[in-house]
Each structure stands twice: as structure tokens, then as C-alpha cells.
Amino acid sequence: MDKELKELLTHARARIGSVNTTKDLDQVYIEIFGKSGEFTTLTKQLGQVPKSKRPKIGQLLNEAKKEIEQHLEKKRSALSAGRSATPIDITAPGEKTKIGHLHLVSQAIEEIVSIFKQLGFSLQSYPEVEWDWYAFETLNMPKNHPARDDWETFFIKSKPHPNLGNQVLTPHTSNGQVREMLRVKTPPIRMLNIARCYRRQIDISHTPMFHQFEGLLVDKNVSIPDLKGTFDYFTTRFFGPERVTRLRQHHFRFTEPSFEVDVTCGVCMGRGCRFCKSGWVELGGSGMVHPRVLRAGKIDPEVYSGFAFGWGIERTIAMKTNIGDIRLLYQNDIRFLEQF
């Protein structure tokens, strides 16, 4: 073993002296002291040496290890000194720090707010944990309405309010309608309410938590053409002039007449696909504010009229960016998020 140890020392000195980078030096270290390294292999053979010679061989192994480590450390210091001696150009431009960007939902919210501000709408904020009174009762929804079922809405386990009822995670931003009327008291009203909403739905076009923006306009002589003109203005600026919208007659308790607002699918451009199935995708509900809702907001429906609409922001993004599954927005996959 004495001969093998001397050969190892000779080879180690030569290899250490020939390397030019710390990376190569690390590789030499592994080849000598790694799990299958040359020195490690010799150490494992110590058990085969006669007991009388083991102390001497063990001492030689320790001395060889110490010598090799000293050569390695000396070479590492020399390589480091060589790097530090490299001149630095202090006039060179610095490297910009990489920073992130707003999430796609936040980007859409900023764009939506900007568009509606051009029409005179002001951004308001109303509770995310809401009373039954504002979420349902003032919106003309009877006690047996499906939306007030435990399988449709997330109810908060809390003591009911004697006048306002139970607490819920608001299923829509329409809870802000009557609150805004009571706040302003006298029209005109142009409100934009953006908030997180919650419903028991999940598939490629629904998530249990989603963002919605609510528009409310109340004034004298407001009519359906005003509603349609607002939609045309928004869709032209948000989706582009090539996308087409339509009003489809529907029924909502808090508007009369009521409409579903559809836009041609951005994935298939109206041909029909897995996401839209028919070429059209629903943006959300809309209609003329029901007289009972106006009365709940203490506004005379004989003097004032208005329209309201509520659309999901995630679905609106999907229709603009050709995302076939809105659940991608909340999976935090950096490969997806960096595309926007």
C-alpha cells in the first residue's frame, strides 16, 4: 500500500497543478476523496493490512490526505486571486435587476377601470363578506331562490343579524347596487364595483373564487340603447373591433328586462370549440334595474331608471387572450404567467 500511496500523491500533485478553474479543481477533489475516489479506495483496503503494520499505514494515509488537502487549498487560493486581479470597468452599464409584473387578473382590472372611467364611472368597494339583505333580499330574490341554497352560496357560520339576516361570501358584486344608491342618495349614479366573489362551481370556465366587475348607472331617461352603447364602447376597447357582442333575452330577479351579454369566442372566433361549444361565450348578466331594487335603494322608479351588469373578470380575460381553461390563472405556473 505504501507504493500505491506514493503514486497517488504524485498523480494528485500533477492534476492539481494542471487545473485552471475552480470547477475543474472541484472535479479533482471528487476523483480523489469522493465516494469512489482513489484515496477513499485505499482507505477501505486498510482492513486487509496485517495488524502490526496498520498503525504505520494509517499514519501515512493521514499525512498523505493532509498534504493533498494543502495542495488543493493553495491552488484554490491562487485561482481566486487570479479572478480578483481581473480589472473592473466601473464605466460599464450595470445589469438591470429582474423584476416581476402584475398578475394577468390585476392587469385586466386596471384596463377595465380605465375604460369605464372614460364613461364617467367611479370605482367603489363594498364588502366581500356580506349580509343576506344586500346580497339577495334587496335584489328581489325570494327566500326559495336557488342562489340562496347552501349548494350554491357559501354561508358564514355566525349569528344572524335581526334585520340583515345571515352572512355570506358574496356570490356577486350586485350587493353593491343598493349600498351605492343609499350612499349617493340622489342620482345620477355611475358606479363600478370590482371584488372577489364565491360560488360552488369549478370547471374550465368557472372557479370557486373569481373576480367580478359590476356596473350601475341610474339617472333620468336611461334606456336599453344606453346599455347597449356602453357594452359596444367597452368591447371595442377591451377586445378589439373584430369581436362581436350580442344581447340575449334572459331572466334575473334584479333587472327587468334582463339580458345575457355574449361575445364571440376568442379561441375559435365563433366556429365552436371545447371552451365555448357554440361560438359564443357568456360575458355576464345585464338589464334595466328592477323598480323594487330602486325602491330598496330609496330611489323613486317613477322618476329615475337605470341599468346594471356584472361580468366575471377571469372569463373576460379568457375571451381576450384565448385561454381555454381559466383555472390556469390560479395554478401559479411561472411558464404560463410569464407569457403575459
| Same structural domain, 111 and 258 | yes
Q: Is residue 153 part of a domain?
A: no
What per-residue confidence (pLDDT) applies to 331?
Answer: 83
Model pLDDT for residues 72-106, shown as the tens digit of each residue: 888 888 887 765 555 677 888 888 888 888 999 99
Instruction: Identify the CA nearest to 278 among candidates 288, 268, 286.
Output: 268
Contact 286, 263 (CB under 8 A): no
Range of the domain at 29: 2-80
Is residue 150 scored above 70 in pLDDT? no
- Is the bond leading into 87 cis (omega within 30 degrees of zero)? no
How big is the CA angle at 267 (ends 261 and 270), to the nearest 5 degrees?
Answer: 55
The winner for highest mean pLDDT among 5-9, 201-205, 216-220, 275-279 is 216-220
The predicted pLDDT at position 149 comes to 66
Q: Which residues contact 210 (CB under 8 A, 6 or more apart)?
A: 196, 197, 198, 199, 312, 313, 314, 315, 326
* 263 falls within a domain: yes
45-49, 167-171, 178-182, 193-197: range with lowest mean pLDDT: 45-49
Q: Is 168 inside any structural domain?
A: no
pLDDT at position 199 over 90: no
Question: Percent of the chain having pLDDT more than 90?
Answer: 30
71 and 212, same domain (yes or no): no
Q: Give a yes or no: residue 137 inside a domain.
A: no
**Total domains present in the chain:** 2
Query: Could you tell me if residue 46 is inside a domain?
Result: yes
Predicted local confidence at residue 301, as pLDDT? 95
Q: What is the pLDDT of residue 151?
A: 63
In a domain, 254, yes or no: yes
Do residue 267 and residue 215 come from a single domain?
A: yes
| Averaged confidence pLDDT in the chain | 86
What mean pLDDT is predicted for residues 105-114? Answer: 94
Mean pLDDT of 194-223: 88
pLDDT of residue 295: 94
pLDDT at 275: 67
Listed ranges 142-156, 216-230, 323-337; the one with the highest mean pLDDT:
216-230
Q: Read off the pLDDT of each residue in 127-152 and give the average, rounded to a whole number.
A: 80
| % of the chain at pLDDT higher than 70 | 95
Are residues 191 and 214 in contact, defined by beta-carbon separation less than 8 angstroms? yes
Domain shared by 183 and 57, yes or no = no
Residue 97's pLDDT is 82
CA 318 to chain centre: 14
Asked if the model's pLDDT at residue 152 lies above 80, the reply is: no
pTM, entire model: 0.66
Cα–Cα distance, 20 to 136 (Å, whole number): 75
208, 249: one domain: yes
Above 70 in pLDDT, residue 55? Answer: yes
> Stretch 202-221: mean pLDDT, rounded?
87
| CATH number for the domain harbouring residue 250 | 3.30.930.10
Residues 297-320 have a mean pLDDT of: 91
Within a 10 A sphere around the Cβ of 338, how many other Cβ atoms? 9
- Does one domain contain both 202 and 313? yes
Same domain, 119 and 59: no
**CA–centroid distance for 305 within its chain:** 38
Q: Which grid coordinates belong to 320?
A: 381576450
Whether 233 is covered by a domain: the verdict is yes
Would you say residue 129 has pLDDT above 80? Answer: yes
Amino acid making up residue 79: L
What distance in Å separates the CA atoms of residue 338 and residue 340, rounded to the nearest whole number? 5
Q: Which band of pLDDT confidence, cut at 50, 70 and 90, is reported for residue 126?
A: very high
Please indicate, yes or no, if residue 305 is contained in any of the structural domains. yes
Ranges assigned E (strand) in 92-235:
122-124, 129-131, 155-161, 165-169, 189-198, 209-219
**Does 214 belong to an annotated binding site?**
no
Range in 243-247, 265-269, 314-318 the model is least confident about:
265-269
Residue ending a domain, among 46, 80, 114, is 80
pLDDT for the residue 322: 73
In a shared domain, residues 59 and 118: no
- For residue 189, how many other CB atoms are within 10 A of its CB? 23
Are 304 and 187 in contact by the 8 Å Cβ rule? The answer is yes
